[in-house]
Amino acid sequence: MGGIKLKVGQPDGQEDLRRIDALRTHLPDDVAMMVDANQQWDRTYALQFGRIVDELGLAFIEEPLDALDFEGHAMLARELATPIATGEMLTSLAEAVQLMRAGGCDIAQFDAPRIGGISPFLKAMTVAEELRIDIAPHWMMELQVHLAAAYPQEPWVEHFFSLEPVFNERLEIANGRVAVPSRPGLGLSLSDAARDWTVSRSAFGEISRL
């Protein structure tokens, strides 16, 4: 089965805990649960919160600290039983490698478009494999599912509905698992709606005809 991720990081931490408890109570045991703090905490609070939820068996705590606080994330990864996931906001291969080399994540969430594309992402995956770090690529699952499928350890892939209008095709999802498309390339073609959203067009160079 798959999993469900819950946003946390509200001003009232007790409300976060109540929502976690309510969701965990209603989820089947075979559905994983994660929480995402979106960089809302400082190191002291993140450690305190993490110790409270350590006994709940969460799949991971996402972005508990500022995205560039590699040392802080590394401290949490050492101190907590719950895996620490982060990396989606990083914007280069160098940053991704720095995070992993610092021990700043148990689960790397790099976003291929943000760190420079498919080639930098594959290089980041090589380092993650070397360090035995799991991956859970962020956003744009239509692209990331192909990259995640190339990783030796089974990854997480996030499911968003927001990009569905952009493409004619849909990913096949059943029982919490995503099937990798077998169509050529990424298996995607732009929809008419996406073409209608185009605000300008430019041509570069000339096409030579033999």
Catalytic residue list: 7, 138
Q: How far apart are CA 105 and CA 78, in angstroms?
A: 10
Helix axes 70-79, 43-53, angle to 10 degrees: 30
Contacts of 47 (CB under 8 A, 6+ apart): 75, 76, 79, 80
In the chain, which ranges are E strands? 3-7, 32-36, 60-62, 84-86, 107-108, 134-135, 173-174, 177-178
| Interstrand relation of 173-174 and 177-178 (parallel, antiparallel or unpaired) | antiparallel
